[in-house]
A and B are shown apart, each in its own frame.
Chain A
């Protein structure tokens, strides 16, 4: 699946990477409210899931409105922090264009181009400068892998929502990124499709990709995650290895969330952590 632009495919050139990524006191202000607060964390490259304490799949977990989507977009560079910094540290991190090209993201509500499924994938391959002959093969492969083989010539917007989400994943994988951000990629998928997507994620990890994904599905987190970052009201409340988090979370909020007791109507009274107004 991975392709390297070397003359001899047997000796892939070690491409200089952009990871690790570090958030330093990063915060975000929207409508005069701090929606992300004082985020400090370092996201290492996953080493293909080969090294025990190098998590290849980082899950972002938290209730609705916690800030998961904003966190992912902040990391991906789609929004700039109002406070603090988002910094890449890898050997290629001084190359701005490269930083952008080595990441990909699948949005919670994917936006597909008004073209066929095939053309949606072809479009990003073209942007990455993949040769025409190779593009056709890659498009066909990716559609096959995401179970959309028979929809190659269907208008992307006529696809069902779950199919659109898988097409968006195929498009992101086509970019062959070093780090892939996924915003609830299986939220509207049926069990079989969710399973297919989880397999694709594992394949991507095996090929060396780092995955950072948000999810509501605790079962999925148990199955898939290497580590979990728990976010609540724009703050990182806990970061732990997945088994530790799922079995004995240290944080009270996380425990309540896992037990399905983190209720929105109790948030204010019970979990009040001082609503920070600013501006």
Chain B
């Protein structure tokens, strides 16, 4: 118990003093996960909107596929990206393995299905509600998409936050494709895993604490946005 309390105190000390290693790891985590989420949102929101508003052959299959991919195990994604990027793989020449770029690629794959599926759900229910009205005023398909994207924007931000939460907390994929190299690809989750296994609880606890704060903050923001996006309605 005393060892634990010591470790905890040391962890708080690291955070309070702004330990350089700690800061560097946090910043790399944020950089990788924010990049991944931005890319996934840029692809996923328009794609989800397209699936929500239009009809084309294979649409149902696409919906089922993205829903299923939401539960992809990070380790498996990591492994797939590893195989593709490894020296003998199809993209081996790019020399991306064990770089932050590889970690971003893996996280995009993890987060994209979440953003596509949540966007589609949100926009589809909005579209069912708006469809007749928008058709009645002769809005073009692009104007329809813009209208539901804008009116669903708070819920879409929530979808993006959920995606970010998954990316920042994920360990399996970044461990495999990043390799947890100190100073290069070590992020919060991989550092926690390593330090804990080495018995250095202070750094692990400090990072764990920060990670917890981030995910709690995300939840609070998401909750606030959902409440904000659903103003008092009488219908």
Shortest 5 CB-CB contacts between residues of A and residues of B: A100-B138, A157-B233, A114-B151, A111-B133, A158-B232
Contacts of A158 in B (CB 8 A): 231-234
Residue in A115, A124, A155, A160 whose CB lies within 8 Å of B137? A124
- Cα distance A109–B234 in the bound complex, in angstroms: 12
Query: Which among A97, A104, A110, A124 has the highest number of chain B CB atoms within 10 Å?
Result: A124
B167 CB, nearest partner CB in chain A, Å: 29
Contact in complex: A111, B234 (CB < 8 Å): no
Contact in complex: B232, A107 (CB < 8 Å): no
- Cα distance A164–B130 in the bound complex, in angstroms: 15
- Cα distance A20–B138 in the bound complex, in angstroms: 20
Query: Which among B130, B138, B143, B147 has the highest number of chain A CB atoms within 10 Å?
Result: B138
Residue B135 at the chain A interface, CB threshold 8 Å: yes
Considering only residues 131-148 of chain B, those with a C-beta below 8 Å from chain A are 132-133, 135-139, 143, 147
25 CB-based A-B contacts, threshold 8 Å: A73-B132, A76-B136, A78-B135, A78-B136, A104-B136, A104-B137, A109-B235, A111-B130, A111-B132, A111-B133, A113-B130, A113-B133, A113-B147, A113-B151, A114-B151, A124-B137, A127-B137, A127-B139, A155-B231, A155-B232, A157-B233, A158-B232, A158-B233, A160-B234, A161-B234
Interface residues on B, range: 10 to 19
Q: Name B's A-contacting residues (CB within 8 A).
A: 129-130, 132-133, 135-139, 143, 147, 151, 231-235
- Cα distance A109–B136 in the bound complex, in angstroms: 14
Residue A257 at the chain B interface, CB threshold 8 Å: no
How would residues 222 to 237 of chain A score, 1 for a CB under 8 Å from any chain B CB and 0 otherwise? 0000000000000000
- Cα distance A123–B81 in the bound complex, in angstroms: 45
A60 CB, nearest partner CB in chain B, Å: 17
Contact in complex: B138, A123 (CB < 8 Å): no
- Cα distance A85–B133 in the bound complex, in angstroms: 23
Considering only residues 49-85 of chain A, those with a C-beta below 8 Å from chain B are 73, 76, 78
Contacts of A109 in B (CB 8 A): 235
**Known interface pairs A78-B132, A113-B130; A157-B232 also in contact (CB < 8 Å):** yes
- Cα distance A175–B133 in the bound complex, in angstroms: 13
How would residues 154 to 167 of chain A score, 1 for a CB under 8 Å from any chain B CB and 0 otherwise? 01011111001000
Contacts of A111 in B (CB 8 A): 129-130, 132-133
**Known interface pairs A115-B151, A157-B235, A158-B234; A101-B130 also in contact (CB < 8 Å):** no
Q: Name A's B-contacting residues (CB within 8 A).
A: 73, 76, 78, 97, 100-101, 103-105, 107, 109-111, 113-115, 123-124, 127, 155, 157-161, 164, 171, 175
Contacts of B151 in A (CB 8 A): 113-115
Contact in complex: B138, A157 (CB < 8 Å): no
Contacts of A127 in B (CB 8 A): 137-139, 143
B123 CB, nearest partner CB in chain A, Å: 13
A68 CB, nearest partner CB in chain B, Å: 16
Contacts of A155 in B (CB 8 A): 231-232
- Cα distance A73–B132 in the bound complex, in angstroms: 10
- Cα distance A110–B130 in the bound complex, in angstroms: 10
- Cα distance A104–B151 in the bound complex, in angstroms: 22
Contacts of B234 in A (CB 8 A): 157-161, 164
Contacts of A104 in B (CB 8 A): 136-137
Contacts of A113 in B (CB 8 A): 130, 133, 147, 151
Query: Which among B133, B136, B151 has the highest number of chain A CB atoms within 10 Å?
Result: B136
Q: Quick one: closest B residue to A168, CB to CB?
A: B133
- Cα distance A164–B129 in the bound complex, in angstroms: 15
- Cα distance A128–B102 in the bound complex, in angstroms: 47
- Cα distance A107–B137 in the bound complex, in angstroms: 12
Contacts of A100 in B (CB 8 A): 138
Q: Quick one: closest A residue to B135, CB to CB?
A: A78
- Cα distance A182–B143 in the bound complex, in angstroms: 24
A161 CB, nearest partner CB in chain B, Å: 7
Contacts of A157 in B (CB 8 A): 231-235
